[in-house]
Amino acid sequence: MATNQEVLNQVKQKAAEWLTDVYDEATKADVRRMLNNADSTELVDSFYRDLEFGTGGLRGIMGAGTNRMNIYTVGAATQGLSNYLKKEFGNLSEIKVAIAYDCRNNSRLFSETSAGIFAANGIKVYIFEDLRPTPELSFAVRELGCQSGIILTASHNPKEYNGYKAYWDDGSQIVSPHDENIIDEVSKVAAADIKFNGDQNLITVLGSEMDNLFLEKVKTVSISPEVVQRQKDLKIVYTPIHGTGVRMIPAALRAFGFTNIFNVPEQDVVSGEFPTVISPNPEETAALEMAIAKAVEVDADVVLASDPDADRLGVAVKNDKGKFVILNGNQTALVFIYYIINQRKLSNKLKGNEFVVKTIVTTELIAKIAERNKVDFYDVFTGFKFIAEVIRDLEGQKVYIGGGEESFGFMPADFVRDKDAVSSCALMAEIVAWAKDQGKSLYEMLLDIYMEYGFSREKMKYVVRKGKTGAEEIQQMMVNFRTNPPKVLGGSRLKIVKDYGVNIATNILTGEKTPINQKITSEVLQFFTEDGTKISVRPSGTEPKIKFYFELAGSLTNRADYDAVEKLADEKIDAIMKELDL
């Protein structure tokens, strides 16, 4: 193992390379500042490794250095992607890419830098005139017949971060084998290889015409426009949390027919500093505090929120005590799937060739709703690129009608091939309107779903283990769970173990082994007990964490019993956590 001094010497050597003429003066000045600082912490953090172009692209803290988001690490990613596109699509007379960016600091700079690099490689570029949501980028890739697309965003990460997500010709984030092949190409690129200055004639700016095409498609997501007309004055509070949803989501709500939209002026300010929140994440209660305060003030029916690149949505509604509560991601996905299937069934639009998709750690109630209504259902690994892959595989054979995951993402239509908070916010408002038309709130509608299909309670627990020893400990935890699974959980016998590392499901009670239909493997274990409890165990691919997802199944016979049933479920999940030493 290298000593601290050896690491520092290696870092200084790497940093010295950034003082050559390949790099601009501002970057060199920043590197000199770090080299001259007696405290080497920032220098080491910036250069101790290369920021990896992973299967989801780049994500990291902004600044100078090999482990930072800057025009050179972004440039290497774009040059590598350009090289791969020219290999894959060299037979085409023209290769095309679309570029979008969010509200984060340097997002515009990185997007314009990338546009110049693509153009320098002879690739036609369509770049949005200003910030746009991730789902609109996915749509534009398909609409313009592009071979690829990128968006500069770090999703809901803190303000110090930025990121780079790459898309393929179907508008989906890149999957195998292209993801690994692009990683290989990017790893070969040195700073001197990056072609920064391309022919500006190859760059076309996209504006309102693409917005209008996108919004026309978003309108087609509406299932019950007559309900919206009856409830068009539904009181909706919406916040973009300083991000890209600021124009497009209110426009989508109006396109559906809603007229009574309240904003949160302080959070309509587009800013990569995210001045009103600690974290711009709609999963977190603190991020929605201002919107909920506005909802209380105006007596709103629903609060809607989107993250900085407007792919995830948050939903808050009044509970039976009149207090606004945030639905978790499982509940949001459940409500969407229930409504889509139920309304299609009522209007005789279910033809028998429809399908829905969820990720394996998302609530099993979605599968139950699909199966009971004879809608095909698919389980995929975490990430919307896997949902999009199912759609691509079934193109022309079956009709996609919805898919979601527990981490606050939903995709209600396949003209976008990624999480879509624009369409989802508009559709969620329609669902609230439909519930109101039925004389109930969205909260009551959720409880009615539980009464019809069964109760479910979900929780997630992170276990953090830092450093090399932490990584080894996490690896050993997975080995222990795999070789010595718990026999009883929460008083119920273990029945099924699904090991996605080898894609085999084992019935512990009978010994029967069944193949799991997945194209690739993933380091995930799932335990199912006789009483329907599901526990998923998954090490994080990007952080020193191992994640435990708990889902407890049960029954609810009366809305008034919900709090008591939920409390018992929480107690049982807490007991299982203790059994697992968490």
Percent of the chain scored above 90 by pLDDT?
A: 91
Quick: pLDDT tens for 93-128. Answer: 999 999 999 999 999 999 999 999 999 999 999 999
Helices marked H in 438-505: 442-453, 467-483
Q: Where are the domains of the chain?
A: 1-48, 49-206, 215-453, 455-579
The predicted pLDDT at position 469 comes to 76
**Cα Rg, the chain, nearest whole Å:** 24
6 CB-near residues (< 8 Å, 6+ apart)? none
Where does the pLDDT of residue 56 fall: very low under 50, low under 70, confident under 90, or very high at 90 and above? confident
Please tell me whether residue 413 adopts helix, strand or coil conformation: coil
Quick: pLDDT tens for 295-326. Answer: 999 999 999 999 999 999 999 999 999 999 99
Determine which of 179-193, 255-269, 454-468 has the lowest per-residue pLDDT on average.
454-468
Percent of the chain scored above 70 by pLDDT?
A: 99
pLDDT at 263 over 80: yes
22 DSSP assignment: T
When the candidates are 3.40.50.1820, 3.40.120.10, 3.20.20.70, 1.10.10.10, the CATH number that belongs to 215-453 is 3.40.120.10
Query: What are the backbone dihedrals phi and psi of residue 63, each rounded to the nearest 5 degrees, phi first?
Result: 150, 180
Q: Classify domain 49-206 at the CATH class level.
A: alpha beta
The predicted pLDDT at position 542 comes to 60
Are 68 and 92 in contact by the 8 Å Cβ rule? The answer is no
- CATH 3.40.50 correct for 455-579: no
One fold for 215-453 and 455-579: no
Query: For 394-417, what is the mean pLDDT?
Result: 97
258 CB-near residues (< 8 Å, 6+ apart)? 228, 232, 234, 236, 426, 429, 433
pLDDT at 541 over 80: no
The predicted pLDDT at position 79 comes to 98
Where does the pLDDT of residue 481 fall: very low under 50, low under 70, confident under 90, or very high at 90 and above? very high
pLDDT at 1 over 60: no
The predicted pLDDT at position 156 comes to 87
Closest CA to 364 of 564, 539, 533, 580: 533
The predicted pLDDT at position 543 comes to 67
Quick: pLDDT tens for 552-582. Answer: 999 999 999 999 999 999 999 999 999 998 8
The predicted pLDDT at position 544 comes to 76
155 is catalytic: yes
Here the tokens at position 578 are 């203790």
521 CB-near residues (< 8 Å, 6+ apart)? 500, 501, 502, 503
C-alpha to C-alpha distances, 156 to 85, 492, 504, 538, nearest whole angstrom: 29, 38, 34, 21
The mean pLDDT value of the chain amounts to 95
Q: How far apart are CA 481 and CA 140, in angstroms?
A: 44
The predicted pLDDT at position 72 comes to 97
Quick: pLDDT tens for 163-203. Answer: 999 999 999 999 889 999 999 999 999 999 999 999 999 99
Are 197 and 120 in contact by the 8 Å Cβ rule? The answer is yes
pLDDT at 289 over 80: yes
Single-letter amino acid code for the residue at 444:
E
Task: Catalytic residue, from 155, 172, 423, 424: name it.
Answer: 155
